[in-house]
Amino acid sequence: MISPSRRRARRAVLALFAAASAMAPAVATAANATECTGVGLCYCMNADFKDAIAEKVDYFRKAIAAERAKGKAIGYMSVPLSSTGGGYFNLNREVAEKIKERVEARLGPNSAWLLNPAAREADLPTLNNARAGQGDYLLMWTRILEGPKALGEDFDFIYFVGPSDFASFFGLTGKDDMDRIAAYFDDRLAKDASLKSAVERGSISKSAFRNYYALRASVAFSVGAHDEWNVIRTVNQRRRDDKAFGMANQLPVMFDGRAVSSGEYELQVAGGNVGACKAN
């Protein structure tokens, strides 16, 4: 049983808490808004991130211009990043950096520069206690990819990451590949606190991790990469219809280390994040 004096003390504390809460400034959160791009694709984004997205677009356009000034061909890498379906974001970020190094080494680091969207410089800030969503990121990357004239004029090639890119990271040989990935998971789990926390939350498991990286690690299973494919398809369509570019000056596209066929250039895939905001 609570004594009268302790009951009065608790009421006083609650009253002080309520008063403090009333005096605390409210955090205004912007509503979602539909933003459309030069190639005609629209995304539902958090309006709080509008300025941050514009700053990132400007930052990467300047970075691209600096590399082009060195005489380099400029590429963009589309890579699955999110921790869904058994994937692990921190690992995907590491894989993306290795792929960037490998592609640049293949083409020649003095001749090519590949923009890596997993670079930490691409992270949007947390605003009003909210993290940027996929719609915010896809709006940002679409604007970077399409360029000021919506013709992808800042880029010379696009690289879509495929299963052999991930296989190279894990050192897969075509023998006991799933066992090798399972062993990698065990080793990393013992050292990686973030992975251990994800396992404890139930957001990832050993079998899901093994199956994802052995069977699905590719842009084919990435929501954002679907949008990026459609951005490039639309850019190339616009180039084909533009007298200054034409068929011969479409953006070259590679998937899993090989050039895609002429038919693939013109194929549209299912949209990922694209679409206007839905009414509540």
| Chain segment 160-212, per-residue pLDDT in tens | 999 999 999 999 999 999 999 999 999 999 999 999 999 999 999 999 999 99
Tokens of 173: 């040989």
Per-residue pLDDT, 20: 41
Residue 52, pLDDT > 70, answer yes
Per-residue pLDDT, 84: 87
Per-residue pLDDT, 15: 46
Closest by CA to 49, choosing from 143, 137, 116, is 137
How far apart are the C-alpha atoms of 127 and 101, rounded to whole Å? 32
Per-residue pLDDT, 5: 53
> What is the mean pLDDT of the segment spanning 216-239?
97
Per-residue pLDDT, 25: 41
How much of the chain, in percent, has pLDDT values that exceed 90? 86
Write down the mean pLDDT value for the chain: 91
Q: How far is CA 263 from CA 240, 247, 253, 259, in A?
A: 14, 13, 12, 12
Residue 88, pLDDT > 70, answer yes
Per-residue pLDDT, 178: 98
* Candidate from 16-30, 75-89, 177-191, 227-241 with smallest mean pLDDT: 16-30
Per-residue confidence band for 279, with pLDDT thresholds at 50, 70 and 90: confident
Task: Decide which of 6 and 181 is more confident.
Answer: 181
Burial of 220 (0-12, 13-18, 19+ CB in 10 A): middle
Residue 82 — φ and ψ, nearest 5°? -70, 155
Per-residue pLDDT, 92: 97
Closest by CA to 101, choosing from 155, 181, 169, is 169
Residue 61, pLDDT > 90, answer yes
* Candidate from 38-42, 64-68, 168-172, 264-268 with smallest mean pLDDT: 264-268
pLDDT tens, residue by residue, 100-150:
999 999 999 999 999 999 999 999 999 999 999 999 999 999 999 999 999
> What is the mean pLDDT of the segment spanning 20-39?
67
Per-residue pLDDT, 3: 53
Amino acid at residue number 166: F
Residue 266, pLDDT > 70, answer yes
Residue 24, pLDDT > 50, answer no
How far apart are the C-alpha atoms of 155 and 117, rounded to whole Å? 14
